[in-house]
Structure 1
Amino acid sequence: MSNPTVPEAEAPQARAHPRALEPITLVVTALLSVLGAVIGLVLITTLGIAPNTSVIGALIAMLIGRISFAALAKMRDPNRQNLVQSAISGSTFAAANSLVTPIAVPFLLGRPDLVWPMLGGAVIGLAVDSWVLYRVFDSRLLPASAAWPAGIAAAETIKAGDEGGRKAKLLGLSAVVGFVGSLFKLPMSAAGVAFLGNIWALLMFGIGLLVAQYAPGILNVDLSANYVPHGVMIGAGLVALVQAVLMMRDRRSKKEAAAQAEREANPGDAFDAEFRTVDARRLRRGLLEGLVLFLIGAMLIALMGGVVSEMSGIGLVGWVLLAGVAALIHQLIVGLAAMHSGWFPAFAVTLIFLIVGLVVGIPMVPLALLVGYAASTGPAFADVGFDFKAGWLLRKDAVPWHPYEMAGRRQQYISQLVGFAVAIIVVMIAWKPFFSDGRVPPVAQVYVDTIKAGLTDPHALTMMAVWAIPGALIQFFGGSSRQMGVLLATGLLVATPQAGWLVLAALAIRFAYTRAKRRAADKGRLAQESAVADADNDLALVGAGLVAGSSLNDVSQIYKAL
C-alpha cells in the first residue's frame, strides 16, 4: 500500500539532489579530505586512535556556508554539508585504518619491499568494502532505521546548525558535556551511543565492558591471555554469519511478495521508515559480489606479494580462500558491531584471523599479508554506514522521498570515493617519512609481535573453542536484530575502563526519562506514542551531542602528536 501523494505545489523539495562533483562542493570536499587524511594519519601513528571527523566536517561546511561570497553560500544546504562530512570522515578512516595500518605490517616485519604490494591490496580491500556497503545498506541485515550512532550525531549536528532554537541549545550543551568529560578521560561516546542504539544490544555491550574491566581483579583471570573474548566473538560471529545468510533468503508467501513488489514499484511520495530500499535479492547479490571481489583481490595480493613462491598449489588456494572469506567476515562483524554500538572491534577481529593463520601453519610473510588484507576491511564499511545514516535522516522530509533518497545516497558514495582517493594520495606520499621516523600504528606492532612469537600457548585453540559456545548461544537466542553475542564480545574486546558504567547509566536514564514522559502524557494510544517519540527525539539529541563532543576531543588531541 503506497503512501499518500503530496501535491507537487506543496513539495518544494521535489528537486535534484546536490551533486558531489559540483565545482564548489568538490573543492571544499577535496580540501577537507586532505585535512581528514592528515588527522587520521597523525593520530593513528602516534596515539593509536582514528577519530570520527564527521562532526568536524559538518561544522566547517556550516561555517563556509555562512560566507556570503559567490558560490560559497551554496554550502548552507544541509545536503551539501552531508556530502562534505561524508568525504572527510571517509578520508580519515581510510588513511588511518584501511591503508596505513595494513602497510605497516610488512614494514615492521622487515620487508619494506612488500609495502607497495600491500598498499595495492589495501586499496582493493577499501574499494570493495565501501562498494558492498553501498549495495546492501538499508537491507534487513543493515537497515537504515538501525542506530548507526555516529550517523545520528552528524545528522543532528547539521540539523541543529540549520534550524537553531531549542534543538541547537540541547545538542550544544550535550556536546560541551561530552567534550569536558572526555578531557577527564571518560569515554563519553559510550554514554552517547547508549541513548541511540538498540537497548538489548547495548546492555550486552555494557556488560561485556564491565566484565572486561573487573574480571581480572575479582577473579584473578586475564581474559585476553586466556582468549575468552576471542572465543566469544568467534562463536557469536559464526552465528551472525549464518543469520546473515538466512536473511538473504526470501521466504515470504506469494501474496506478501506481490504486495512488496507493488510497494517497491510505487513507494509513494512520503518517507516511510519501514520501507527497505534494498530487498533480499539485492542483499544476496551484494554480498556475493563482495566475496568474489575479495577473492580476486586476494589473488592479486598473492601475485604481487610473492605468496605464490612461498606456498604449494593447494596451500596457495587455501590462502586465497581464507583471505577472501576473512575479509568478508571481518567487514560484516565490524559493521554489525558499529551499527548497534558505534564501536568496531577491528583490531580484535583481525587478531582472531591472525591466530587462525598461526594454527593452520601459514608462513610468516603470507600470514602478514593476510592480516593486512583483513585489516583493510571493516572500518570504512562502518564509516560509510554512519554517513549514509546521516544522509537518510537529513533527506526524510524530501518529496517525493524515494528517488531523492537513492540519488542522495549515490552522491554520498561518490563523495566518499573522493575522500578515499585523497587518502590514498596522502598515504602514498607520507608513509615513508612517517615509518622512517618510527611513527607506525601501535596495533600493527601488536600484529607483527604476535606473528613473530607464534602460537606459544598450546591451549589457545581449545580455550577459543570452549568460549565460542556461550557466544554462539547468546547470539542465537538474541536474534539477528539485537546482535547480543557480537556486542557482548565487542565489550569484552574493547575493554575501555569506566565505559560499561557510562553505558548502563545512560540506559537507566533513557528508561526513566521515557517512562516519565509516558506517565505525563494523556491516556490513549496516540498520546502515549507521541510522548515516546518526543522522549526519543530529546534523547537522540543528547546522545548525538555526547558523541560529537567526544569526537571533537579526539580530533583536538592532534596537538599531542605534532
Structure 2
Amino acid sequence: MNTKVYPSGDVSTSPDTHPKFFVTSQLLFNVLIASLGAIIGLELITRVGITPNTSIIGALVAIIISYIPIKIFNRFKRLENQTLVQTSISGATFSAANGLLLPIAIPFLMGQQDMLIPMLIGASLAVITDASILYFSFDSKLFSAKGAWPPGFATAEALKAAANKGKSAVLLGVGMVGGALGKSVGIPTEMLGIAWISNVFALSALGIGLLLRGYSTELFGVDINAHYIPHGIMIGAGMVALFQILKLIRRDDSESGDESNSQRPTRSALQMKLAMCSGFSVYLTIALMLAIGTGIYTDMSFGMMIGWLIFAAVAALASEMIVGIAAMHSGWFPSFATGLIFLVLGMLIGFPTEALGVLVAFTVATGPAFADMAYDLKAGWVIRKEGKDQEFELAGRKQQYFAELFSFGIAILIVAFVHQFYFAQDLVPPVARVYVATIEAGADSGIAKMLALWAIVGAAIQYIGGISRQIGVLLATGLLIMSPKAGIMIFVGLAIRFIVVKYFGEKGKKQLYVLGAGAISGSALYSFFTSTLKLGSK
C-alpha cells in the first residue's frame, strides 16, 4: 500500500481518509456554525438588503479555533476540515436568506398568509434540488472545476496562505488590506480581484454592461432599464445559452478521450444529462405540489395549469443555469434579474396574479444555492490539489455535499421558526417588494415588443461569444445592475492584468491571483463587519 501525503499535510495510506463531516464529537459545532450563518443571512437580507458571502468568515472561524489547545479542536488544523466549516456557514447563509425567506416573503406581501407554509416547503425542496444538481454537475464540461469561481478561489487561497505563512500569505495580506481600504472609501475593490482571476471576455462584457447601465442617461438621454432593454437582452442571451448548454451535454465523452485521466472532468456528459433531466422532473413535481398546496390551480383552466407547471419547471432550471454560468465567470450571480425576467414573461403569458407570485417565488429559490455550493466546491477543489488524486477529490466533494445539506436543514428549521417574527415587524427582503410591485403594475403589449426586439440582440451576442465566453449573459447581467464604479474597476483590473502578464509572465500572473484573492476577501470582510455594525446600531 503506497503512503501518500495529502494537501493538509496528513500522511495516509488510503484516499478514504478525507475527514468526515458527520463526526459525533463535532456535531454541536456544526449546528452552531450553520445556525450562525442562517441568522447572519436573515438579518442582513431583511435589514440591509444584501446577503454576504460568509465563506471567508467560516474559514477564519475554523483557523481561529484550530489554535485552541483543546483536543477536540485539533481536527480543524486540516485544511479539508476548514473547508467543511466554510461550506456549512455559507450554505446556511444563502439558503436561509435567498432560498427560503425571500420566496415566502412574496406571498406574505401579497396578503396570502395561507400560502406561507406550502411555499416554505416548496422552496426548501427547491434549494435541496438546486444544490444536488450542482453536485452532480460540478467539474463537468459546462461547470468546470477549472473555471474561475472567484469567491471560492479566494477562500481557498486565504486558507492556504494562513497555513503556509510564507510569501503567499504576505501577498494575500496586502490584497486584503487594499481590498478593505478601497471598500471603506466606496471603491468596489473586489472587482479588481475578480478581473485578475476570471475570464477576460466575460468580464469585459460585464464591465461594458455596468458602464452602459450607469451612464445610459448621459450617453443616450434615456434610462435603458425603464425601457426593458436589459431584460430583453437577458431573455435572448439566456435562451441561446440554454440551447448551447443542451448542445454541450449531448456531446459524446469520446471528444476528450485523448486527455490524460487527471485532466478529464470527473462528471461525464451522461452524468450531466441525467442531473439536468432528473432536476427538471423534480422541479415539475415541486411545481405541482405548490400549485395544489397554495390553491392557485383553482384560478386556472386545465390547459393553463399544464402550461404554468411546465413554465415554472423550465424557469427554475433555466434560472439556475444562467446564474451558475454568470457566477463561474464573474463571481456575481444575477438571481434577482433572472427571477424578474421570468416574472415578466409569465405576466405576458397571462398567468393569474397569485400564480405569478408563486412562480417568481419558486424561481428565485433556485440559483443562489447552486452558485454558492459551486464556490464551496471550487474552494475544496483547490485545497485538494485541484483533483490530482481523483478518488480523494470525489470523497472530499461528497463530504462538502453532506455539509451543504446539513446547513440547509438547519436553515429550514430556523426560517420555519422565526419568519413570522420578521414579518410581524414588516421586515422582508427589499427585492420581494420589487417583485410584488411589478406584479401589481401589470404588463402590456409595448413591453412585449421591447423585450422581443432586444431579445434578438441578446441572442446574437450570446451566439457570437459562444458557450465558453458567455458574453451575452454577462452583458445583460451588467445592464441589470446599477454600479458603474464596478465597471470602471473591471477595466482598471484588466489593464493591470495585461501589463503584469506581458512584462512578468506566468510568475506575475500567479502573484496577481493571490493578490486578487486577497482583494476579494478583504472587501467581503469589510462589507460583512460594517453591515453587522449597522445592524447593531439599529
Q: TM-score if structure 2 supplies the norm length?
A: 0.95
Shift of residue 248 of structure 1?
Answer: 1.1
Q: CA deviation at 1:71?
A: 1.5
Task: Establish whether residue 143 from structure 1 lines up as the match of residue 144 from structure 2.
Answer: yes
Kept after mapping to 1: 8 A contact 2:500/2:509: no
Contact 1:24-1:72 within 8 A present in 2 as well: no
Distance 2:299 2:53 in 1: 39
Instruction: Tell me if 1:152 matches 2:153.
Output: yes
Whether the aligned pair in 1 keeps the contact of 2:137 and 2:275 (CA below 8 Å) is yes
Task: Give distance in 2, aligned partners of 1:549 and 1:441.
Answer: 25
**Residue type matched to 1:467 in 2?**
W
| Structure 2 residue corresponding to 1:558, chosen from 517, 529, 532 | 532
Residue in structure 2 matching 1:388, options 352, 356, 377: 377
CA distance in 2, matches of 1:442, 1:509: 36
Distance, in Å, in 1 between the alignment partners of 2:110 and 2:436 is: 6
Larger deviation: 498-507 or 470-479? 470-479
Alignment-mate amino acid for residue 384 of structure 1: M
Deviation per CA, 1:371-418: give whole Å up to 9, x if none: 10001000110000000000000001787x010000000000000111
- Of 327, 351, 374 in structure 2, the residue corresponding to residue 338 of structure 1 is 327
Cα deviation 1:230-255 (Å, max 9, x = unaligned): 111111101110010011112466xx
1:352 corresponds to = 341
Q: 2:488 corresponds to which residue?
A: 501
Residue 289 (structure 1) aligned with residue 278 (structure 2): yes
Q: Is the 8 A contact 2:462 2:471 kept in 1?
A: yes
SS of the residue corresponding to residue 136 of structure 2 reads: helix
Counterparts of 2:510 and 2:24 in 1: how far apart (Å)? 36
- Aligned runs of 1:501-520 on 2, under 5 Å? 501-518=488-505
1:103 is matched with which residue? 104
The aligned counterpart of 1:207 is 208
The match for 1:522 is none
In structure 2, the CA distance between the partners of 1:178 and 1:259, relative to structure 1 (3 Å rule), is closer
User: Bigger CA drift: 186-195 or 40-49?
Assistant: 186-195
CA distance in 1: counterparts of 2:224 and 2:32, whole angstroms = 44
1:50 is paired with a residue whose SS is: coil
CA-to-partner distance for each residue in 1:192-242, whole Å, 9 max, x for gaps?
211111011101111111111111222111111101111111111011100
- Work out whether residues 388 and 412 of structure 1, in 8 Å CA contact, stay in contact via their aligned partners in 2: yes
The alignment partner of 1:494 has SS state of coil
Separation in 2 of the partners of 1:77 and 1:28? 16
Partner of 2:365: 376
Q: Distance in 1 between matches of 2:194 and 2:27?
A: 31
CA drift at 1:28:
2.5
SS of the residue aligned with 1:278? coil
CA–CA distance in structure 2, aligned partners of residues 509 and 197 of structure 1: 13
Aligned to 1:539: 512
Amino acid aligned to 1:226: H
Cα gap change, 1:391 to 1:448, in 2 (>3 Å): same
Assess, with a 3 A threshold, how the Cα gap between structure 1 residues 497 and 25 changes in structure 2: closer, same or farther: farther
Match of 1:436 in 2: 424
2:267 to 249, 271, 278: 278
Gaps of 5+ in 1: 1-5, 519-531
Letter in 2 for 1:146: G
CA distance in 2 between counterparts of 1:120 and 1:217 reads 46
Instruction: Give the secondary-structure state (helix, strand or coil) at the position aligned to 1:503.
Output: helix
Cα separation, partners in 2 of 1:9 and 1:287, compared to 1, 3 Å: closer
Provide, for residues 264-291 of structure 1, a one-character-per-residue CA deviation record: whole Å limited to 9, x for no partner: xxx4xxxx3x320011111111111111
CA contact (8 A) 1:25 1:80 kept: no
Deviation at 1:24? Answer: 4.0
Structure 1 residue 488 displacement after superposition:
0.7
Alpha-carbon deviation of 1:130? 0.4
Q: Which residue of 2 aligns with 1:42?
A: 43
Shift of 1:561: 2.2
What amino acid sits opposite 1:379 in the alignment? P
Please tell me whether the aligned partners of residues 252 and 269 of structure 2 are also in contact (alpha carbons under 8 angstroms): no
% identical equivalent positions:
43
CA distance in 2, matches of 1:125, 1:548: 29
| Structure 2 Cα separation of the partners of residues 187 and 114 of structure 1 | 39
1:479 partnered with 2:466: yes
Which residue of structure 1 lines up, in the alignment, with residue 130 of structure 2? 129
Indicate if the aligned counterparts of 1:51 and 1:551 stay in contact, CA closer than 8 A.
yes
Q: Aligned to 1:476, what secondary structure does the other structure show?
A: helix
Tell me if structure 2 keeps the 8 A contact 1:25–1:84: no
Task: Answer yes or no: is the 8 Å Cα contact 2:83–2:380 preserved in 1.
Answer: yes
Q: Distance in 2 between matches of 1:243 and 1:159?
A: 36
CA distance in 1, matches of 2:453, 2:162: 51
In 2, the alpha carbon distance for the partners of 1:428 and 1:372 equals 16
Structure 1 residue 27, shift from structure 2 partner:
2.8
Q: How far apart in 2 are the matches of 1:204 and 1:342?
A: 14
**What is the match of residue 445 of structure 1?**
433
Find the counterpart in structure 1 of residue 289 from structure 2. 300
Give the equivalent residue in structure 2 for 1:490.
477
1:187 Cα shift? 1.8
Shift of 1:360: 1.1
- Secondary structure of the equivalent of 1:136? coil
Which amino acid in structure 2 is aligned with residue 205 of structure 1?
L
Tell me if the contact between 1:43 and 1:49 (Cα under 8 Å) persists in the aligned partners. yes
Q: Is the 8 A contact 1:28 1:84 kept in 2?
A: no
Of residues 490-499 and 508-517 in structure 1, the stretch that sits farther from structure 2 once superposed is 490-499
Q: Which residue is 2:114 aligned to?
A: 113
Give the TM-score normalised by structure 1.
0.91
Q: Give me the CA root mean square deviation.
A: 1.6
Q: How does 1:150-189 map to 2 (within 5 A)?
A: 150-189=151-190
Aligned residue for 1:498, secondary structure, equals: helix
1:360 alignment partner AA: I
The AA in structure 2 aligned to 1:537 is: K
SS at match of 2:197: coil
Structure 2 partner of 1:525: none
User: In the alignment, is the contact (CA less than 8 A) between 1:86 and 1:416 conserved in 2?
Assistant: yes
Return the letter of the residue paired with 2:315. A
Unaligned runs of 5+ in 2: none
Quick one: distance in 1 between partners of 2:55 and 2:110? 34
Q: CA deviation at 1:497?
A: 3.1
What CA deviation, in whole Å up to 9, does each residue of 1:58-78 have, x standing for no partner? Answer: 000010001120221111110
CA–CA distance in structure 1, aligned partners of residues 4 and 394 of structure 2:
22
CA deviations 1:499-544 (Å, max 9, x no partner) are 00100000110110011113xxxxxxxxxxxxx1x22321111111
After TM superposition, give the deviation of residue 37 of structure 1 in Å.
0.7
